Amino acid sequence: MKIEKRYPEGRTKAFNITYDDGVLHDVPLIAMLNRYGIKGTFNLNSQLMQTGFTWRHACGMDIIRLRPAEIGDLYAGHEIASHTLTHPYMDSLSDEELYRQLGEDKRNLEAMFGREVAGFAVPFDYYDDRIARCAEKCGFEYARTSDVTLSYTPCRDWYHWKTGVYHVMPELVPYVEGFLKTNEELALCQIVGHSYDLFTENLWDTIESICANIGEHDEIWKCTHLELIRYLKAMEQVEVSDTEIKNYSGLQLWFAVDGNTISLNPGQIIKL
């Protein structure tokens, strides 16, 4: 008997885009994601949003933070996650300032959007165990680092989360092509970047082509990072044997048994 883990509705793969900073270029990006049924995770800096912080890219383009009054329902259907208050280099922060950057940003974003903020994305490249402990103590369910793996295996270290590919990497297209071909159990394709890169690096057509292609595949779960994390955590609360599957989690979970899709409700046991 062959038992395989599946994503919701029996889907075999998952896809997520996670973009940082909350800038004006999110507006056309989200319109494109919505067109193809793709869910994004958007990692925001609440204090920089409140001041409308702007900086000039090396190409001469102004990168403008969205102000709260300009956002409206822009991020509806997508995840909002923390990216710290002010996007600092975190290696030099005191413990007090570190907790302020994460905790206050979480509270600000929750008040701003009227919904839960349970994810954290690290600014820049520096990350260590101290930051991981802070993220957990501040109530975040995961912390996404800047490390990439070019793997389709989801990370299982929630507070040292490594993503799949940074969208400016030359491996982007082959990585996505490999994802569509892989038969790996619970395969994940996760793309990280900034929406302004789509214009400064001439990536718009590439990302739109990827999203259009992914959107056509019903076997791919288009999810937020938080939805993915919660589902993977729930899967860790399952016991599977040759005779039964026990779901001790609080979520409905899916499996394939000899090719036939089944689902288990929270607390349910299925005899095989």
Residue 1's pLDDT is: 87
| Interacting residues of 110 by C-beta distance below 8 A, sequence separation 6+ | 116, 117
- What's this model's pTM, rounded to 2 decimal places? 0.97
What average pLDDT does the segment 2-21 reach?
97
- pLDDT band with cut points at 50, 70 and 90 for residue 6: very high
What average pLDDT does the segment 171-198 reach?
98
pLDDT in tens, 91-118: 989 999 999 999 999 999 999 999 999 9
DSSP state of 66: P
What tokens does 147 get? Answer: 């490390």
Distance spanning both ends of the chain, measured CA to CA: 9
Residue 80's pLDDT is: 98
CB 270 within 8 A of CB 254: no
Question: Helices H, strands E: what count in the chain?
Answer: 9, 17
> Furthest-apart CA pair in the chain: how many Å?
63
What average pLDDT does the segment 119-137 reach?
95
